[in-house]
A and B are shown apart, each in its own frame.
Chain A
Amino acid sequence: MSDNQGPVWEIFLQKKAGQPFVHCGSLHAFDKEMALQNARDLYTRRNEGCAIWAVPSNAIVASSPEDIGPFFEPANDKVYRHPTFYQIPDAIGHM
């Protein structure tokens, strides 16, 4: 039989309840239960997380580095989306 290690999974950890899940690395596992167990053993030996997401690598859709210019371009000329675009009278103070 082929000596395979199972498909690759991407692992995301939540450090503390309420915080976002952050990518920490990847691993091999044959199914989702094993992916979670392996993630626990590999990435949380020192309480680095209180919750884990395991996602099959091939399910991830990623932007292409070559296209990032045009892809993100629509946000470039919309300065009015930032609060600093607007002037608030001094008399009003903080808004």
Chain B
Amino acid sequence: MEANKFEEVFESKLAKNEMVEPKDWMPENYRKHLIRQISQHAHSEIVGMLPEGNWITRAPSLRSKVVLLAKVQDEGGHGLYLYTAAETLGISRDELLNNLHTGKAKYSSIFNYPTLTWADIGAVGWLVDGAAIMNQVMLQRTSYGPYARAMVRICKEESFHQRQGFEIMTRLAFGTDEQKAMAQDALNRWWYPTMMMFGPPDSESPNSENAIKWRIKRETNDQLRQRFVNQTVPQIHYLGLTVPDQNLKWNEDKKGYDFSQPDWVEFKNVISGNGPCNKERLAARNKAHNDGAWVREAAQAFAKKRKEIYEAA
């Protein structure tokens, strides 16, 4: 087939809402865009284990401890689903991890904020996972097959994450005055960073146009952010907490809330490495990877030995 014929087949797949599979021809920029997006997504899952892992040993009850442990284990699993999806595009696991560890690849800015109190674990599960779900529900129908299938699996698992976070918030918000204040404080600190998770406004989002054209994304950053606010504000009211935004107001015309934008200068600073925890997170990831080298070496040596025994028998 000639090159333009390949392109025609690709375009017609997108037009018919069919999925692109690893062996299909795809434009080089489509492949690059996917590798960037899927690997960022995978790195976010793995780095996202760190702020929550911080509280496993200090969870206030055995129940909350096993739940948090299961959630953090899920995040590790999500990272692995996504890494293997990225690998179908012709990049190796080692290269992907190396890009994370050297700081060449990015991960979600949200994980560069600290989890200071137990209420932060509630806020992370409820708001951060809630925002992630909004994005991931859309990505279940993304145009690249392995990515879409990983998302279906992830979405099934995420809804437990959001509920466990909301449960923590409920207990605190309906607890003592001190507990309620803790819940409000966590909401105040996580509200705007969560809004940043959807990415810059559409007018300033360099990658959005291609992502929509290729059906990698089906909704824009601003659309998803608006949906998140509409969904979350009633939950905040239920908890008896206050949205940390004086401009928040129901707009009957658009059947949605008007709200303040997060500080996009802060966002740029955090993604370019100057957030409160960037250095700590990257150092923790590198340490975990390097400290785990002996496990990989031992597994490899063990497999070799076992193979020799089989072959001798």
Residues of A bordering B, CB below 8 Å: 1-6, 8, 24-28, 30-31, 33-34, 41-42, 45-46, 62, 64-66
Contact = CB atoms under 8 A, between A and B. Distances in A.
Contacts of A42: 77, 80-81
Given A25-B81, A28-B93, A65-B25, A6 B150 contact: no
B87 to A, nearest CB: 7
A6 B81 CA distance: 16
A73 B74 CA distance: 44
A77 B70 CA distance: 53
Given A28-B93, A65-B24, A65-B25, A4 B80 contact: no
Contacts of B213: none
Contact of B299 (A1, A34, A45): A34
A6 B299 contact: yes
B23 A1 contact: no
A30 B74 CA distance: 22
- Is chain B's interface secondary structure helix, strand, loop, or mixed overall? helix
B241 to A, nearest CB: 32
A4 B296 contact: yes
Contacts of B307: 31
Interface in B28-87: 70, 73-74, 77, 80-81, 84, 87
B95 to A, nearest CB: 11
A25 B84 contact: yes
B153 A25 contact: yes
24 contacts: A2-B94, A3-B293, A4-B94, A4-B296, A4-B300, A6-B299, A6-B303, A8-B87, A25-B150, A25-B153, A26-B87, A27-B80, A30-B300, A30-B302, A30-B303, A31-B306, A31-B307, A42-B77, A45-B73, A45-B157, A46-B157, A64-B23, A65-B25, A66-B1
Interface of B: 1, 21, 23-25, 70, 73-74, 77, 80-81, 84, 87, 93-94, 149-150, 153, 157, 293, 296-297, 299-300, 302-303, 306-307
B133 to A, nearest CB: 17
B74 A3 contact: no
Contacts of B293: 3
A6 B77 CA distance: 17
A1 B23 CA distance: 32
B11 to A, nearest CB: 15
Contacts of A27: 80, 84
A65 B21 contact: yes
Given A5-B296, A30-B300, A66-B1, 16 more contacts: A2-B94, A3-B94, A3-B293, A5-B93, A6-B296, A6-B299, A8-B87, A25-B84, A26-B84, A27-B80, A28-B84, A31-B303, A31-B307, A45-B157, A65-B24, A65-B25
